[in-house]
Amino acid sequence: MELKEAFETLGEIVDRISSVYIGNEAVIRKTLAAALVNGNVLFEDYPGLGKTLLAKALGRVLGLKYTRVQFTPDLLPADILGTKVWRQNLGTFELIKGPVFTNVLLADEINRAPPKTQSALLEAMQERQVTIEGETFPLERPFFVIATQNPIELEGTYPLPEAQLDRFLVRLRLGYPKTLRDEVEILEARLSWRKDDPTADLKPLIDRETFVEMQELVERRIFIERALLEYIAELIRNARSDERVEAGPSPRGGIALMKVAKANALLEGRDFVLPDDVKAYAIDALAHRVVVRPEYAFEGVTGEEIIRETLRRTSVPKGAEGR
């Protein structure tokens, strides 16, 4: 597959998803960019904003296997990974595969499950493999998790620990529909609600193999110059040295920003990364990795604000302003 074809197909993919998830193309593009680098996505926002809808629509249009796990307080690790059962007649153990054996795993309301179950997903998210009773099984490519969580102020939740947050390539907020027109269009789309799943009629545009090819294009054919790597490195170091920060973005955060910036270049039809690709994703890739000192957090300072200010005081290195 050539870059031009990939670029055009990606445009069609965004359009098709926009036909059911209405009024926020920016978030569709960001989710797709993350998927292109096999990145785990965390949707953090209030209920009813279309998180489940968007995740499902993405899986369908990309022609990927999709499973959904509703996280609840009594969910066990085996409910995600699977278990081995003894088959008397065969004299062997048989693996009953859990929902993790898929391409897109929607971990819905992940902060409603206790930490032990949340962390059962850790190995899968990071290593793309799972260990069940001592035996390791690789997962098919692509594999990524789209987790949703309601903002932590809501009661009865277990906020994700730092180690787990760091494994999400990006954290995205969907937000409320921006215009009255979008709001009306959402209502219109559901005038008939007999078919309660708006994604049911959505046809795949590509298949798994084609999507993997696109991922390879991002990896191999999109160029990022050294000056921009320096820019990313400076961003994360500047965020770390902010006096209000207890723990700043990890190197994994820098890698996440680099990867997703490359994917964005392809989405924009370029074979090279611009500073704007980095800027566009800095908050999404870094803010959730910032731990604000309690005294500042108490005053309402957030990771988002820290990264926004870091962007303002970090200049783009000479030679990286674009071609």
Per CB under 6 A, 51 contacts ligand ADP: yes
Q: Are the C-beta atoms of residues 111 and 171 closer than 8 Å to each other?
A: no
> In whole angstroms, what is the distance from residue 222 CA to residue 224 CA?
7
Residue 149 near ligand ADP by CB under 6 A: no
Q: Would you tell me which residues interact with Mg ion (CB under 5 A)? A: 52
- Tell me the C-alpha to C-alpha distance, in Å, between residue 316 and each of 202, 224, 274, 288: 42, 14, 10, 23
Q: Which of residues 231-260 bind ligand ADP (CB under 6 A)?
A: none
Q: Count the Cβ atoms, other than its own, within 10 Å of residue 256.
A: 27
Binder to ligand ADP among 10, 53, 224, 282 (CB under 6 A)?
Answer: 53
Q: Of 6, 22, 75, 265, which lies in the binding site for ligand ADP, with binding defined by CB under 6 A?
A: 22
Q: Residue 186 binds which entry of ligand ADP, Mg ion, none, with Cβ cut-offs from 5 to 8 Å by kind?
A: ligand ADP
The residue within the footprint of ligand ADP, chosen from 186, 229, 233, 297 (CB under 6 A), is 186
C-alpha span between 49 and 269 (Å, rounded): 29
- For residues 48 and 294, which CB has a smaller minimum distance to ligand ADP in the complex? 48
Stretch that binds ligand ADP, among 47-55, 80-88, 255-263, 267-275 (CB under 6 A): 47-55
> Which among 128, 125, 145, 144 has a CA at the least distance from the CA of 136?
128
Helices (H), ranges, the chain: 3-18, 25-36, 51-61, 77-81, 115-127, 162-165, 180-189, 208-221, 226-240, 251-267, 275-286, 294-298, 303-313
Q: What are phi and psi of 31, to 5 degrees?
A: -65, -40
DSSP 305-320: HHHHHHHHHSPPPTT-
Name the binder of 117 from ligand ADP, Mg ion, none, CB < 5-8 A by kind. none
Contact segment (CB under 6 A) with ligand ADP among 44-52, 85-93, 211-219, 252-260 equals 44-52
Binding flag, residue 59, ligand ADP (CB under 6 A): no
CB of 319 to ligand ADP, least distance (A): 41
Nearer to ligand ADP, 52 or 310 (CB): 52
Whichever of 58 and 265 has its CB closer to ligand ADP, that residue is 58
Q: How far is the CB of 275 from ligand ADP (least distance, A)?
A: 30
What's phi and psi for 200, nearest 5 deg? -60, -35
Among 13, 17, 49, 280, binds ligand ADP (CB under 6 A): 49
Select the binding partner of residue 59 from ligand ADP, Mg ion, none (C-beta < 5 to 8 A, by kind): none
Task: Output the CA torsion 61→224→232→260 (10° steps).
Answer: 0
* Position 111 contacts ligand ADP (CB under 6 A): no
Footprint of ligand ADP (CB under 6 A): 21-24, 47-53, 148, 177, 186, 189-190, 198
